[in-house]
Structure 1
Amino acid sequence: MSRVIFKFLAYFTAIFAIDQAIKWVFLHGFRYKGEFIDLVLVYNKGVAFSMFAFLGANLKYIQLGLIALLFGYLFGQKELLKTHTVAFGMLIGAGCSNILDRFVHGGVVDYIFWHKWFDFAVFNFADVMIDVAIVIIIIQSFIRKK
């Protein structure tokens, strides 16, 4: 089990650190305007597509509680953690990075704005890693059922 925890913590730390490093670059003035995407600093006070922004400062405590519950559940369900170590490391690392933003900056630091053919929400590396982690969990679940 210690090998699983080490692997989980390695992915958690890597995703968390990479996300915070990228955000630091944008917080210190980096911007880019392109044909397909703009890289611009935006503070998201809600969750995806700014939903639940009306919760204000309470949102960060709700999310912190949900992450704590997930973390506790995973360490209680060791088999689930063993099966999806990498994905949960990525998921929780990215989630914690976004929650840290809420405490430090008052909102999640977002910076990728896709605007070719349609306007999409502004998002960040952590958001992408959360999506990738969910896809990994789904794929692994289908593979395990077979």
Structure 2
Amino acid sequence: MTPETDTEAAPAATRIPGPLSALGLAIVGLTVVVDQLSKWIADANLVYQQGIELIPSLLALYRVNNTGIAFSLGNSADSLILIALTAVVTAVVIYVWRGSTEGGRIAATGFALIVGGALGNLIDRVWHGHVIDFLFLHWNERGFFVFNLADVALTIGPILLAWVYLLQPGKKG
């Protein structure tokens, strides 16, 4: 084996499981399926804007249609702009994921959760013109936000990436 061949093989060996790996496809696919199934159930069974307490004073089922982005920001934005923005951000995350060489399975899981969550909300936006949110986080009478399982994935994904890349500088997965 020549030094050039050995050098060329090394980066591929250190790459994290990518978007087309079994891990990547499984997490993205599972995230999208669970998200879409939960939204379908919520849409079919929850009365619009009528709450059902799950955990008293903390979490309720409460279906709303979110035409904006996170925390209903951008409610007045054109739906096509939000679709395009979501598609571009998702493509950038996939591009960064494909080029990542450190972080192992934890980083791959973080990237996959972000992509799966973004795709789940993108499907809603394309199909319905809004995102179906149905989990209401509140403290007694003080409401914080209504979200869905794609949003949970979009929160856990960056937390995993921060854990690997910022909080564990000597350990990369």
Match of 1:95 among 104, 118, 126: 118
* Counterparts of 2:89 and 2:42, CA distance in 1: 28
What aligned pairs does 1:109-120 form with structure 2 within 5 A after superposition?
109-117=132-140, 118-120=142-144
Greater helix share, 1 or 2?
1
* Counterparts of 1:26 and 1:15, CA distance in 2: 16
* Counterparts of 2:60 and 2:125, CA distance in 1: 23
Match of 2:68 among 2, 23, 46: 46
Shift of 1:128: 1.2
Match of 1:126 among 123, 144, 150: 150
Unaligned runs of 5+ in 1: none
Shift of 1:90: 1.0
Shift of 1:82: 4.6
User: Which residue in 2 is equivalent to 1:7?
Assistant: 23
Structure of greater Rg: 2
* Counterparts of 2:67 and 2:170, CA distance in 1: 39
Count of aligned pairs between the two proteins: 145
Q: CA-to-partner distance for each residue in 1:61-104, whole Å, 9 max, x for gaps?
A: 111122122213322x1415756111111110011100110001
Change (3 A) 1:81 1:72: farther
Structure 1 runs of 4+ aligned residues shifted over 6 Å read: none
Normalised by the size of structure 1, how large is the TM-score?
0.87
* Counterparts of 1:138 and 1:38, CA distance in 2: 29
Unaligned runs of 5+ in 2: 1-11
User: Which residue in 1 is equivalent to 2:97?
Assistant: 74
Query: What value does the CA root-mean-square deviation take over the aligned residues?
Result: 2.2
SS in 1 for 2:76: helix
